[in-house]
Amino acid sequence: MTDVSQYSDDQAAQITQLQEQQSLFTQALAAAVSGKWTGAGSVEAFLYALDPNLQGTITPDVPITESDYEAPDDPKACAGTRTGSCHPTRTRGRAACAR
């Protein structure tokens, strides 16, 4: 933290608040990189800490990882497509044909 003794009380308070906000943003970014979107120590929690007025307004759309994708029920369903292959969609558990 910056030594704020050389600043006026108002300036020192502003610098301290900015440092605390920067710390929360940094922690939120670290949580995002580690994939922690909800719960304690998550992106959502750090955003609420930055602005309590956001409480109840944030609905994180957790990214879907490749391991969440499932193959289509009928792999032959994609045989007539231009690419002849199926690609997972972002609708968990369903796959769509590449057209």
- The predicted model gives 15-36 an average pLDDT of 94
| pTM of the entire predicted model | 0.59
Q: Where are the domains of the chain?
A: 7-61, 64-99
pLDDT in tens, 54-63: 998 988 777 7
Residue 99's pLDDT is: 44
For residue 84, pLDDT beyond 70:
no
For residue 72, pLDDT beyond 90:
no
Residue 62's pLDDT is: 75
Where residue 69 falls among pLDDT bands split at 50, 70, 90?
Answer: low
To the nearest 10 degrees (0 to 180), the angle between helices 9-33 and 43-50 is 160
- State how far the alpha carbon of 60 is from the alpha carbons of 23, 31, 45, in Å: 21, 13, 11
Provide Rg for the chain, Cα atoms.
23
